[in-house]
Structure 1
Amino acid sequence: MSRTVYVNGEFLPEEQAKVSVFDRGFLFADGVYEVTSVLGGKLIDFAGHTKRLDRSLKELGMEMPLTEDELLGIHRHLVEENGIEDGLVYLQITRGAADRDFAYPEAGTPQTVVLFTQAKPGLADSPQAERGIRVITIPDERWGRRDIKTVQLLYPSMGKMMAKAEGADDAWMVEDDCVTEGTSNNAYIVKNGTIVTRHLGTEILHGITRSAVLRFAREAQMKVEERAFTPDEAKEADEAFITSASSFVMPVVQIDEATLGDGTPGPVARRLREIYLEESRKAAV
């Protein structure tokens, strides 16, 4: 059965969805995106994703083409139309279609807005969360504005494939001998009960799940330090984990050749995953 997708004001079967070959998202990666999780047919942290979307657009000098209520309505329609119980809603906005030129097109050029869903049955019950994942470290060779959630994802994609080639699940990127983040997630270590994750800046994406998890951790009286950490420090940690909209809180049990703890998910990561899923489901829309 074909999915219904949203393209520039229309809900269409995916086979009929079209975007111009002159779209700047295709030609220049001149666009931004967001991914919102769906659990039990409801959207997780929708307001946070909308707020970050607005910030990303402003950083690139683009307008928000739809109101938050309009975006919510489109998300809900796609979730219902496609029968998504657990899954993801992807939203991409580009600067629109114009004759190829490095200079931006004229003001008023219609932006391209695309949304589509992915069904992920049992998204919150991933077997990986029970066994943990393995990561490798690679150089961070992305552009400098990683705080903007753009569609230019080639190097993170390459990083995933580097990890796959080594039999691992993901890669943590390293710059100036410090971990920045994972290919599509924020990175954390735990030492002596303290959660350590890189401070916010242009070097990492300001994760919506990151923000919620750190808030829940502090509410649970867990100690949190927002600072850079080295790969060596990570390999000597008691445990580690990642966060993202699609993986929630995912334990890391191995970094390169170093096994963390006894090689199974640690208590902090397990507890934070429980708290995050419980609280997020309560607040879902």
Structure 2
Amino acid sequence: MTRTVFVNGEYLPEDEAKVSIFDRAFLMADGVYEVTSVLDGKLIDFDGHAKRLERSLNELDIRKPAVFDDLLEIHRELVRVNGIEDGLVYLQITRGAPGDRDFVFPDPETTEPTVVLFTQNKPGLADSPAAKAGMKIISIEDVRWGRRDIKTVQLLYPSMGKMMAKKAGADDAWMVQDGYVTEGTSNNAYIIKGNTIITRALSNDILHGITRAAVLRFAKEAQMQVEERNFTIDEAKEADEAFITSASAFVMPVIEIDGVSLGDGTPGARTARLREIYLDESRKAAI
């Protein structure tokens, strides 16, 4: 079955979709994106993703596209026509193709952004085997640019980090800057000591995760303590539990860091409970 995708106001078969070779995302990685999960045919945390998308556009001085206020309807239509029960909707907005290649971009008000959306079918997304087995991670140096709070399409180093992990026999990598963990390659990072969740505070150094915000809110409601502060890889190795969060992984346990097992080397009870709460509450609020 050929997917239906959305490109600049049109619903098209994926093999007919085209974007200019002069699009600045292609030439300069000049664009932003969001990924919204779909469970039971409904969108998870859509409003949070839309607000972060608007912030990312503002930070890069990219004009909101004409279809911005219709994005919920577009998401729902793509989910419907592609028959997505569990999966993802990928959205990318770029500065567009204002002309020939140039480092200097024109007045945003004179440039129409490029808007692309497509779905990915992921049956059983909430029942990932990794949630039961746990993830193994390695640590790598964080050499990305300084505005990681903007969800840009500059994903080469995170992609390289995932490949480093794969070559090392692990599942993912946590990035380290000045001795402290920033985040995972495509997720926020956490450790648990006793009844306390520890995760890096929000700043330009990490992405302001939509799932992160929800999980920390649910954790406090479940009477868990939350400390937003820096932590080291050595501290993480001594933790009782660890986990990551993202829109597509939800809450995923980490059982090994740089070859050191956490606890008994199996997913921890608090992490499992947080995942259960997040999925239950998110399904109730899905639209």
Same fold (TM > 0.5) = yes
Structure 1 residue 255 displacement after superposition: 0.3
Counterpart of 1:214 (choices 213, 216, 219) is 216
> What letter matches 1:119 in structure 2?
N
Structure 1 residue 67 displacement after superposition: 5.7
Aligned to 1:56: 56
Structure 1 residue 181 displacement after superposition: 0.2
> What letter matches 1:61 in structure 2?
D
Aligned to 2:280: 278
Aligned to 1:131: 133
SS at 1:195 equivalent: strand
- Within a 5 Å distance, the mapping from 1:98-137 to structure 2 comes to 98-106=99-107, 107-137=109-139
Structure 1 residue 185 displacement after superposition: 0.1
Task: Report the Cα distance in structure 2 between the residues aligned to 1:191 and 1:66, rounded to whole angstroms.
Answer: 47
Residue by residue over 1:35-93, the C-alpha shift from the partner in whole angstroms, topping out at 9 and shown as x without a partner, is 00000000000000000000000000112214664000000000000000000000000
Task: Report the Cα distance in structure 2 between the residues aligned to 1:257 and 1:126, rounded to whole angstroms.
Answer: 23
Q: Does 1:263 align with 2:234?
A: no
Task: Report the Cα distance in structure 2 between the residues aligned to 1:66 and 1:110, rounded to whole angstroms.
Answer: 8
Counterpart of 1:150 (choices 149, 152, 172) is 152
Native 8 Å contact 2:180 2:230 kept in 1: yes
TM-score, normalization by structure 2? 0.98
Task: Report the Cα distance in structure 2 between the residues aligned to 1:111 and 1:78, rounded to whole angstroms.
Answer: 20
Aligned to 1:23: 23
> What letter matches 1:88 in structure 2?
L
> What letter matches 2:86 in structure 1?
D
Aligned to 1:35: 35
Unaligned ranges ≥5, structure 2: none
C-alpha change, 1:69 and 1:57, in structure 2 (3 Å) is closer
Q: Does 1:87 align with 2:82?
A: no
Residue by residue over 1:166-197, the C-alpha shift from the partner in whole angstroms, topping out at 9 and shown as x without a partner, is 01000000000000000000000001221000
> What letter matches 2:106 in structure 1?
P
Aligned to 2:76: 76
Residue by residue over 1:17-52, the C-alpha shift from the partner in whole angstroms, topping out at 9 and shown as x without a partner, is 000000000000000000000000000000000000
Structure 1 residue 201 displacement after superposition: 0.1
Structure 1 residue 105 displacement after superposition: 2.5
SS at 1:62 equivalent: coil
C-alpha change, 1:265 and 1:66, in structure 2 (3 Å) is farther
Counterpart of 2:202 (choices 192, 200, 209) is 200
Aligned to 2:143: 141
> What letter matches 1:105 in structure 2?
P
Task: Report the Cα distance in structure 1 between the residues aligned to 2:128 and 2:110, rounded to whole angstroms.
Answer: 44
CA RMSD of aligned residues (A): 0.8
Q: Percent identity?
A: 74
SS at 2:110 equivalent: coil
Mean Cα deviation higher: 59-68 or 39-48 = 59-68
Aligned to 1:159: 161
SS at 1:54 equivalent: helix
Task: Report the Cα distance in structure 1 between the residues aligned to 2:225 and 2:20, rounded to whole angstroms.
Answer: 50
Aligned structure 1 segments of 4 or more residues deviating by more than 6 angstroms: none
TM-score, normalization by structure 1? 0.99
Native 8 Å contact 2:94 2:115 kept in 1: yes
Aligned to 1:173: 175
